[in-house]
Amino acid sequence: MNILKTLQERYTTKLYDPTHRLSKEEIEQIKELLRLSPSSINSQPWAFDIISEGKLKAHLSEHSMNNKERVRTASHIIVIHVYRSVKTFEEERISTLAEGAQAFYRAKVATRGEDAVQGWMERQAYIALGVLLTALPTMGIDTTPMEGIDLQAYDSILGHAKYRPIVAVALGRRDPKDETQPTLTPKSRRTDIFL
């Protein structure tokens, strides 16, 4: 595996092949990738919906803004959630961690207040998103990270009492006609980012 080549070829897919479906084996590998994602102090403040069911995807697509067609035609959608309640997060996750991790959380995170803890949990979820966006191309799976969704509608549709959605990812196989793939439209990246 050449990770640099993978990242050069990876892109945000705009058109999916609606006939392609990921296999059960691929979904199991994706679950393990998510399970192994790193997080600060091993807090793992997340949960994941992996959605393939057509009616549910169609319902979510109606609340996906410019991503409507991607949600509808992709093989699967992963919705990344974090704990809704800081208290529940602390009871279920922080209390299970090593004392040093608990002390760090109490001194450096919790002291900043609930809004800051919620923001911190969201940033952990984006680490899992980064793992997905880097790892899935090595499996030949195309992706579209999606903040352009109505989170309140997704929350209402998915209805998890303990978790709230943060971001979603469409997965599948690109349509060969997708003009944004790097073989047709070269990637554009800044070169002046190193200080």
Is residue 113 situated within a structural domain?
no
Give domain status of residue 177, yes or no: no
Q: Is residue 67 part of a domain?
A: yes
With a cut of 70, which residues of the chain have pLDDT below it? 1
In a domain, 44, yes or no: no
- The set of residues, in sequence order, having a beta carbon less than 8 Å from that of 64 and lying 6+ positions away, is 70, 71, 146, 148, 149, 150, 168
Task: Confirm whether 187 is domain-assigned.
Answer: no
Look at the chain and report how many structural domains it folds into: 1
State the chain's mean pLDDT as an integer.
Answer: 97
Residue 1: predicted pLDDT: 66
Distances from the Cα of 57 to the Cαs of 16, 31, 38, 76, 166, in angstroms? Answer: 14, 19, 28, 8, 17
Q: Do the domain assignments include residue 139? A: yes
Give the domain range for residue 168. Answer: 3-38+49-85+124-172
Residue 70 included in any domain: yes
* pLDDT one-digit tens code per residue, 122-133: 999 999 999 999
